[in-house]
Amino acid sequence: MHRPTRPAALLAALLAALLAAGCRTVPAVPAAPPSAAAAAPAPLPPRPWSDEVLYFVLVDRFADGDLSNDAGADRAAKGAFHGGDLAGLLAHLDEIASLGVTALWVNPLVKNIDGPVYGAGFPDWGYHGYWADDLTRIDPRFGTEEQLRRLVAACHARGIRVLLDVVYNHAGYGTHYLTDPRTRDWLRSPDRGDCGTDDLTSCVAGLPDWKTERPEVRDWLLDVQLGWARRLGLDGFRLDTVKHVSHDFWKEHRRRARAELAPGFFLLGEVWGGDAQVLDPWFEGDELDAGFDFGFQGSALAWVQGRGRTVAFDRYLASRMRVRPGHLLAQYLSNHDVPGALFQLHGDLARFRMAAALQFAVSGIPVVYYGEEVGRPGGAWPDNRSDFPWGERKILPGEGRPRDEALRAWYRRLVAARRAHPALSRGEHRGIETAGDLYVFSRRDPASGDVVLVALNRGVTAAEARLPAPAEWAGREPEDLLGAAAARRAGGDLSIRVPSLSAAYFAVPPGR
């Protein structure tokens, strides 16, 4: 979500300005919207979410496919809308699909507040989608419901699942829900002074807080959001600010999703600071299928930069396997709320490539943040939400932004390796070489007999090691799926050589 602090005085002034300007053009109706006439896209065949590769895109920052909905867009302003929309995402979907990813997560797309807020020191708009003003319709700056339905259909035709970001905790600053007589008592807000101090009743970042403990509020929110999923044929939700909504709400959410939506509807939750232990209360209650691992970025970047002992990092990776059975962690290197990994690495592409290799070689769902696969550096907020780099292609808003095609090819290799080898997504973890800068661990999937040896050398010189060859390889010669390292058999052992600042996946190709 978007978390800049907004003083109460600014909120009151914003509310007054919005009301004076008559920004609300469609009144809120506290009921689910009617079903659309068009049929929802056909669902994809069931498959394990543990094998998915997820791509997260902020629609406004990707591609502008319809200039007619660009009113008020200002590509030079970091906090403004830049014009990206569903038409652009649909037109350039193969930019994402050709990476080999299998799932797409898009930011919230409901109607956001019309005006900016100023607590960040500059005009800041709801281009990210987290400041809702009308949950019953798509923001016209993003496009239309029919375009979103077409996007889901186009993704399904490519074998890609779609997760829509959904916010149950809060509405946008100055939302008309605060003044509509049918909904004004459904929210807490700083200007009224009724925000609490605990996770469930606080107004996160000064945003109006839905009183989800009230049955009528809960039922309306569920009617609206599950209605979107049903009409659009979505495959799941990414759930924002999970810990700020009660467990009872999430249990009812799960019950209704199972009763009303396609089997296997997936719930990926954001519990700030989440890891296997922190997320377990939501897993134990069967409220979520997966949650974000907030520790992976820092741990991986620290290791590739030479901070900390390899054996300690190996223990961390092994601890990620202790997630409750049937549930998953989702690991990221960059996202919209934290400085990007390449930025934190000061542009060091070699170490960034190693971090990405780690991300794709461990259990859980790897999440690629739009543009990091072509070298978009990210940066601290709001630079972590910059435009997608299109290079010389005439695509707004990121036309002319440089891109790294060699890095993109690296990502294609990583995705292809993970999809070809179930050991990388489902396998057991075992550290082998953990004493120095050369780190080797195995990923073994007993069900398929697949084994991958993952080797990373964070040192400045090439490293060699001799280790037992996996029995499952039965005397066959492995290769490095990433193409840089060398391996040769020596009896029952394997001798490997890994260049400096590089990564390797040693495996016997399937079917050999």
Supply the DSSP string of 61-80, one letter for each residue: GT----GGG-TT--TT-TTS
- Does 3 score more than 90 pLDDT? no
> Which pLDDT does position 66 carry in this prediction?
98
For 93-104, give one letter per residue: b (16+ CB within 10 A) or e: bebbbebbbbbb
Question: What average pLDDT is seen over the chain?
Answer: 93
Confidence of residue 193 (pLDDT cuts 50, 70, 90): very high
pLDDT at 33: 53
| Model pLDDT, residue 322 | 95
Q: What is the pLDDT of residue 492?
A: 87
* Phi, psi dihedrals of residue 465, rounded to the nearest 5°: -155, 150
Higher local confidence (pLDDT), 1 or 362: 362
Asked whether the predicted pLDDT for residue 2 surpasses 80, the reply is: no
Written in H, E and C, the secondary structure of 232-285 is HCCCEEEECCHHHCCHHHHHHHHHHHHHHCCCCCEEEECCCCCCHHHHHHHHHC
Given this model, what pLDDT does residue 373 score? 98
pLDDT value at residue 24: 40
% of the chain residues with pLDDT over 90: 89
Q: Which fold is adopted by the domain 428-507?
A: Immunoglobulin-like (2.60.40)
The pLDDT assigned to 381 comes to: 96
The CATH homologous superfamily for domain 1-24+103-121+131-265 is Glycosidases (3.20.20.80)
**Dist. CA 68–CA 338, nearest whole Å:** 32
| pLDDT on residue 490 | 85
CB 372 within 8 A of CB 385: no
The Cα 236–Cα 244 span in angstroms is: 20
What value does the mean pLDDT take over residues 449-478? 95
Considering the chain, tell me which residue range(s) the CATH 2.60.40.1180 domain(s) occupy. 428-507
Across 102-109, average pLDDT: 98
pTM summary value: 0.93
pLDDT > 60? residue 30: no
pLDDT tens digit string along 238-268? 999 999 999 999 999 999 999 999 989 999 9
C-alpha 123/C-alpha 126 separation (Å) is 10
Residue 194 has pLDDT above 80, yes or no: yes
Are the CB atoms for 398 and 377 separated by under 8 Å?
Answer: no
Is the pLDDT at 412 greater than 50, yes or no? yes
Q: How much is the pLDDT for 1?
A: 61
Q: Cα(229)–Cα(152) distance, rounded to whole angstroms?
A: 11
d(CA 456, CA 462): 11
State the span(s) of the chain assigned CATH 3.20.20.80.
Answer: 1-24+103-121+131-265
- Residues of the chain with pLDDT > 70, as a percent, come to 92
Is residue 167 pLDDT above 90, yes or no?
A: yes
Q: What are the pLDDT digits (tens) for 299-337?
A: 999 999 999 999 999 999 999 999 999 999 999 999 999
For residues 110 and 132, the answer to whether their CB atoms sit within 8 Å is yes
73: pLDDT strictly greater than 80: yes
Q: Give the residue-averaged pLDDT of 425-434.
A: 97
Reply yes or no on whether the pLDDT at 11 is more than 70. no
Read out DSSP for 293-311?
ETTHHHHHHHHHTT-S-HH
Token pair for 64: 């502008």
User: Between these two residues, 280 and 263, which has the higher pLDDT value?
Assistant: 280
| pLDDT tier, 22 (very low <50, low <70, confident <90, very high otherwise) | very low
Split at pLDDT 50, 70, 90, the class of 369 is very high
Average pLDDT over residues 131-151: 98
Q: What is the pLDDT of residue 474?
A: 87
User: Which pLDDT belongs to residue 219?
Assistant: 98
- Other CB atoms closer than 10 Å to residue 326's CB: what's the count? 9
The helix/strand/coil state of 170 is: strand
Enter the DSSP assignment of 3: -
Residue 7 clears pLDDT 60, i.e. is over it? no
Per-residue pLDDT band for 5 (boundaries 50, 70, 90) equals very low
Q: Over 60: is that where the pLDDT of 25 sits?
A: no
- Closest Cα to residue 190, out of 176, 175, 209? 209
**Residue 356, token pair as written in the block:** 């990405």
Identify the three-state secondary structure at position 355. helix
Q: Check if the beta carbon of residue 212 is closer than 8 Å to that of residue 169.
A: yes
Q: Find the mean pLDDT for residues 165-176.
A: 98
What's at 73, amino acid-wise?
A: A
pLDDT score for 59: 98
Overall average pLDDT of the 379-408 stretch: 97
Task: Give the burial class of 140: count Cβ atoms within 10 A of its Cβ; 0-12 exposed, 13-18 middle, 19 or more buried.
Answer: middle
